[in-house]
Structure 1
Amino acid sequence: MALFLQLAELADVLAATSSRLKKRAAIAEGITAVHAQSPEEAGLFALYLAGQTFPEADPRKLNAGGAVLSRIIASISHAADTAMTEAYRRHGDLGAATHDLFLDAGHNPPPTLTFTDLHDAFAQASIARTTVIRQIVLTDLLTRAIPVEAKYLIKLMLGDMRIGVKQSLVEEAIAVAAEASLSDVRNAVMLQADLACATEMAFAKTLREARMRLFHPLGFMLASPVETPEEAVERFAKIPVESDASTPPPTHVEPDPPSVSEDAYTVTAQEEISPEAIHIHAQIEDKYDGMRVQLHCGDPAQPGRVALYSRNREDVTESYPEIAEAFAHAESGAMILDGELLAWDVQQERALPFAVLSPRIGRKRVSNEVRTATPVVFMAFDVLYASDSLLLDLPLRERRNRLEAIAERLLAVTHSPLALPATADTGLFAHDNGAAQTGVQRLLLSPISLAYSAEDLDRAYNAARERGNEGVMIKAADSIYQPGRRGISWVKLKRQLGTLDVVITGAEYGHGKRSQFLSDYTFAIRAPEGDLLNVGKAYSGVTDAEIVKLTAWLKDHTLEDQGHFRTVEPGIVLEVAFNNVMRSSRHASGFALRFPRILRIRTDKPLEEIDTLERVEEIYQSQPDKPAEA
């Protein structure tokens, strides 16, 4: 058996190393050493180093958050609340705080924890029926840990190792350690959704035997933002063009991808040509204001099972049972569809803003009242798997053809009722299969158009905005699907709202390297009577040097120190950008900015000149996709 101490000590080394190549070499050496001691534990070593308690394909959850772990740490270290707070404030990380608390308490048992011990404890904790039982299991595990082991046990259980190692780097190290092809390793990880299993297969030389399994999310392909149609055209002009049209599309995983930024692409023959003269071949879709999800269904081995996965790979199916009901009768074989979950106006047949959908996010029980108040649909725009084949390497135009063929077969059965009928004897809701033919159509196919110039993009953008949508997605017609990648073959052109000048009214300490600084800022606008009304919070957009200066100023001008949060004098004016404005009861202004980000500190602007509630209301009303109001 291999000791967990090997991973903990390696993690300390990796956290102090900035070189990617040195990290990869160290991880490969660690995997090789563990494999030599215990081949069956090498996979667990890789899995845990990547910060995963369970493989992606494993639906189990540890269900141990910071509150439970803090109680366990306190019980083992006998630390007072003040000591716990001080240790956390020192590092901004519960794992590092635990290390200090265990050291201070003299808790230093002999290292005996193995990877199998962790595996068994995690399995027990995941099926514990009560928090008390789960806490007992994890207390036993942590009691056996020496300080450095406890540090990384806590980080692992919280899913945040903070050692500068992503799964992609672990995959590279596996390829090095097992002398395997990186593309084969990544393909196996993607198909099996199990890093530990892929590690075992790499050493066993069976990576080519990996097969796709449904009901684990693949990575989502992402789009890069652009602000103008001309910028989109210039981006697309940089996409390398194959000289031979008969050359098959490249595989979706590179053997050893170099670290090249998008800006590294160069335009050769088109460098001197104006954007107006450049012609592109792009597929245009509306950019909807919903939740990006991946839909899995049709597995013959699990009839009727349907799953929806969000971008953070969470199973969100139970919050949207209408979609599961609609696709439960799909008989077109196993498939994975990529699309957007939308709140939908059934009468007007148009998407509603995210603010309408958001109350349903995370809901465990969906009543008829919720179903009828916020109907939902699945707007499909890509197909990733069908007919027992992954389709990622096909060009977008071919995937679209296949998606249209699938939709044509499914549209007859993908209905579900707006509200479920109540059974006469129990009053409970029951799904009537016959109603599937007369209910709401839950599958919609994202309309597309083709664009060849900036003028085409501009027209498409304006039309999308008139339909109340955020903007447009612009996708190269020849693009393959690259899971988890944000490249230049997909871009999004979104609306450009005005910015707001706001004043900081509160500040919180950050996390990680920002744990010693006030780096999360609550800000306000001015009411007609002159009062300051909070409208949002932001932490991105300021430099480290600016954060240091802001922290010093905010500490000197604190009105109320609540520990992690401080109310401060309104003296720092910020210019903030945001995606849109929503009605909200969370802030005194009655509004909330969605995805706010700091553009700059306005040292030139006095408090009296910050924006007003009237201005926020004006921006809100200018949004064509704002929710309808009574």
Structure 2
Amino acid sequence: MEYAALVDVYDRLAATDSTDGKRDCLAEVFADAGPLLGRLVTLARGRLSPAYDRTELGVSSSLTLDAIRRATGATESAVRDRWQATGDLGDAAAWAAEHGGQQTLFSEPLTVERVHDTLRDLADFEGTGSQDRKVDAVAGLLADADPDEARYVVRTALGHLRVGVGEGTIRDAIAVAFLDGSADAVDAVERAYQVTTDFRVVAETAREAGVDGLAALDVEPGRPVQVMLAEKSESPAGAVADAAADGTAVCEYKYDGVRIQIHVDGDDVWLFTRRLEEVTDQFPDVVSAVRAGVEADRAILDGELVGYAPGTVATDARDPVAFQTLSRRIKRETDVEALAREIPAVVHLFDCLATDETRLESPLSDRRQRCSDVVDPVTPAPDEPRAGLELARSRRVAVDDPDAAASFYREALDAGHEGLMVKNPAATYQPGRRVGRLLKVKPTMEPLDLVVTRATYSEGRRSEWLGRLYLGCYDPDADAFREVGRLSTGYTDDELAALTDRLEDLVTARDGRDVELRPEVVLEVEYEEIQRSPEYGSGYALRFPRFLGVREDVAPTDADSVGRVESLYEGQ
């Protein structure tokens, strides 16, 4: 398939405001995709791999700019001027391809396979000279591209396609292309994606085996499952009443750590975060604990990884460290064992998704029992280093005994944790869903996870740092971020300097001291209240927002949604 044909599809999608129109456009493409179906369902969102594969291509805006200049002959200043004017390096590449002046004597039409595979291979370039090789590879594609093709090659390389296609659109397009497009068909595709997190597998299965084939798809060790999410409740007693089955609910400590999904298959162990990012190499102490404590040949377990002060982790009076301290371990690539000794961890397990068979449809009470059956608690040993492994602290509470829930809540807070999770003991596990059978209770207004969309350099002493950050909540229907306010307080100088270094790599356009950013960094933000505001695209504004930290474990598309902001506003 020539890449130009896919580019035509991108243009049609970008020109279509209707979600149904985008769905029907993609359904037509998928139905005629043949052996390219797997590539096309990922490329439809400008991606090169399934959701759980977070491999970085290592292509920055500056490297891409070098590739544009090398391929087209356009001067760097001219491309930068165009980039600043449009706010899109892809548009600048299209302009350079048309006006750069460099002609390729011998070229060949781009194909979907070539673009996909060339860009995907960039992640494997390592060592001395790897950056030059990446520039050459991208430049090779651009040299054979017409202006419109160049636009989308660059956007795909940078991971920001700008055609307004979200996961829901892909899901619905598969249901229309290969099933009957009904609500039941959409549900079948949704369920299959929840257990595989791979639209390639889902689309190919729907095409070859229909609804029955989708129903047969199952969780597999090594392939993370979308986690089940909680809704907020205002009080322990209220949460117990809402979540109860047969008059009781399971109350469990709400730990302030990293959601961790543990996969075991024989000697193989994988660790995944809530955003489906593999962090096995960053937590060798947890791998050691899993090998010592998990007594099943195959298992998928859900829990929370919590950091503790080194001198307390092996005692009954553990002192949990702040999430931001623990999050240092998520991105660490060197000296990981030294950091494991400095910030020792305990995994508190609370669910079992699979062992010898899938358990998603089993009630929580059975899944918790199975978790207990296959896990032998492991005492943390920071000097080895080996993490702790144990079941989350929990208590079964009756609806007619509200004091018991309140007492357990206070116990969790006194131990330095966030509050309670309250669960329906009869509930099945629903990946990727916020459901009323899983509730959380915290003592303060819940912070929001928001994405930095643009920024302005500060004034005065902090003038070299991006200290004024515009925040966006996610609009899943449009696959876009709607701004909800500006943040300028809460960070230390060190935090702001580190955040500026990170954001400057994501700049897509500059206008004086203002910069546009690729929406990749998620921040945890507290605030006083939410107000209606015509100033921001969401229609709302945070009053007195304050920085709490960077959420390394949350993907931009998993940030809080416009709907979440609306519900918090209504509930004030």
TM-score (norm 2): 0.72
Q: Which has the larger radius of gyration?
A: 1
Q: Is the 2:261–2:271 Cα contact (8 Å) retained in structure 1?
A: yes
Whichever residue aligns with residue 14 of structure 1, its letter is: L
Q: How does 1:5-44 map to 2 (within 5 A)?
A: 5-33=4-32, 35=33, 39-44=34-39
What's 2:209 paired with? 205
The corresponding residue for 1:445 is 391
After superposition, the Cα gap between the structure-2 partners of 1:451 and 1:95, relative to the gap in structure 1 and judged at 3 Å, is: farther
The 10-residue stretch of structure 1 (14-23 or 309-318) with the greater mean CA deviation from structure 2: 14-23
SS in 1 for 2:175: helix
**Counterpart residue number, 1:430:** none
Matches of 1:205 and 1:108 in 2, distance apart?
A: 48
- Taking a change above 3 Å as real, the CA distance of residues 456 and 102 of structure 1, as seen in their structure-2 partners, is farther
- The reply on whether 1:596 has 2:523 as its aligned counterpart is no
Q: Are residue 325 (structure 1) and residue 288 (structure 2) matched? A: yes
Matching residue of 1:156: 156
Contact between 1:524 and 1:535, CA under 8 Å: does it hold in 2? Answer: no
Q: Which residue number corresponds to residue 113 of structure 2?
A: 116
Check whether the contact 2:219–2:225 (CA below 8 A) recurs between aligned residues. Answer: no
Equivalent of 1:475 in 409, 413, 423: 423
Structure 1's 164 and 282: CA in aligned 2 closer, same or farther, altered over 3 A? farther
Q: In the alignment, residue 515 of structure 2 is paired with which amino acid?
A: H
Q: Where do 1:163-312 residues align within 5 Å?
A: 163-179=163-179, 181-205=185-209, 207=213, 210=217, 212-229=219-236, 232=239, 236=243, 281-297=248-264, 299-300=265-266, 303=267, 305-312=268-275
Structure 1: segments with no counterpart, 5+ residues: 242-278, 421-438, 526-531, 538-559, 566-592, 604-609, 617-630
The equivalent of 1:361 in structure 2 is 330
For the 8 Å contact 2:307–2:321, the answer to whether it is kept is yes
Task: Identify if the C-alpha distance between structure 1 residues 84 and 359 changes in structure 2 by more than 3 Å, giving closer, same or farther.
Answer: same
Shift of 1:493: 1.2
How many Å apart are 1:104 and its aligned residue? 4.5
Once residues 518 and 187 of structure 1 are traced to their aligned partners in structure 2, the CA distance between those partners, rounded to angstroms, is 32
Contact between 1:88 and 1:97, CA under 8 Å: does it hold in 2? Answer: yes
**CA RMSD after TM alignment:** 4.1
The C-alpha deviation readout for 1:375-429, integer Å capped at 9, x for no partner, is 1121111111111x2211222122111111112xx33xx4674224xxxxxxxxx
Query: What is the SS of the residue equivalent to 1:213?
Result: coil
Superposed displacement of residue 227, structure 1: 3.6
Map Cα deviations across residues 113-137 of structure 1 (whole Å, 9 max, x no partner). Answer: 2221123313432322322222222
Summarize the alignment of residues 37-56 of structure 1 with structure 2, pairs less than 5 Å apart.
39-56=34-51
CA contact (8 A) 2:45 2:165 kept: yes
Stretch of structure 1 that moved more, 220-229 or 177-186: 177-186
Aligned to 1:381, the other structure's residue is in SS state: strand
In structure 2, the residue matched to 1:141 is 141
TM-score (norm 1): 0.66
- 1:486-525 correspondence runs (5 A): 486-496=434-444, 506-507=467-468, 520-523=486-489
Residue 336 of structure 1 is matched in structure 2 by: 300
Aligned residues: 476
Contiguous gaps of at least 5 residues in structure 2 = 448-457, 460-466, 498-510, 517-522, 534-542, 549-572
Matches of 2:176 and 2:134, distance apart in 1: 37
- What SS does structure 1 have at the residue aligned with 2:220? coil
Identity %: 26
Name the SS for the 2:281 alignment partner. helix
| Structure 1 residue 191, shift from structure 2 partner | 4.9
CA distance in 1, matches of 2:60, 2:405: 46
Structure-1 residue corresponding to 2:537: none
CA separation of 1:224 and 1:92: change in aligned 2, threshold 3 A: farther
Letter in 2 for 1:486: R
**1: CA distance, partners of 2:435 / 2:101:** 50
DSSP 3-state at the match of 1:340 = strand
Does the 8 A contact of 1:396 with 1:476 survive in 2? yes
Deviations 1:495-528 (CA, angstroms, capped at 9, x unpaired): 21799xxxx9653577999999996432379xxx
Match of 1:63 among 52, 58, 61: 58
Q: CA deviation at 1:68?
A: 2.2
Q: Distance in 1 between matches of 2:526 and 2:83?
A: 27
